Amino acid sequence: MNQSRRCVCVFCGSSQAVSERYLEAAAATGRRLAAGGLGVVYGGGRVGLMGALADAALAAGGEVVGVIPNALVAREVAHGRLSELIVVETMHERKALMAARAGAFLALPGGFGTLEEILEAISWNQLGIHAKPCFFFNIDGFYDALRAQFERAQSDRFVPSGRELTAFESDLDAVIDRILEAVA
């Protein structure tokens, strides 16, 4: 994608064993991002929410860039039909490149990798390394406990108050509207 500001870095799970509602929500997210003229940069996988997101965005005419470490390509999980697939050596390179190509970050449900990636983006925002907004698509309350933890960290003054570093939305249209507003 030529304009990184109009590209959203999406973190999400690659498990194929998840509920169909998560896969459907990931596909809907891909379609809405494409319809909003937003490109997607993500982890480059073809399975789980990653695959559903990428396939739907591509089918809707969107641009999708995958960034994947060589070790995962070797496991045959790389998506083969992306607008662009970038193979890197390390997870650190992957995250840095994804962050550089994005104007905002969005987390859909996922496991430890998803959490680690979005938390790093939030931390970088707090430290002033970037000023890109971070969003959670809180499908079926998936991130409710994390949101409560963030509020606790803020009330106990581990995280500064008065500056919104993240936004949680349970409605897809609301999260896409907020992203569009942030990257305009």
For residue 178, what is the domain's CATH number?
3.40.50.450
pLDDT tops 50 at residue 86: yes
pTM above 0.75, yes or no: yes
Q: What's the average model confidence in pLDDT over 15-25? A: 95
User: What's the pLDDT band for 2 if we cut at 50, 70, 90?
Assistant: very low
Q: pLDDT of 123-174, one tens digit each? A: 999 899 999 999 999 999 999 999 999 999 999 999 877 667 799 999 999 9
Count the domains in the chain.
1
Q: Is 42:7 a contact under the CB 8 Å cutoff? A: no
Q: Measured in Å, how far apart are the chain's first and last C-alpha atoms?
A: 16
Could you tell me the two tokens for 6? 């109009």
Query: Would you say residue 1 has pLDDT above 60?
Result: no
Can you give the residue range of the structural domain that contains 148? 4-183
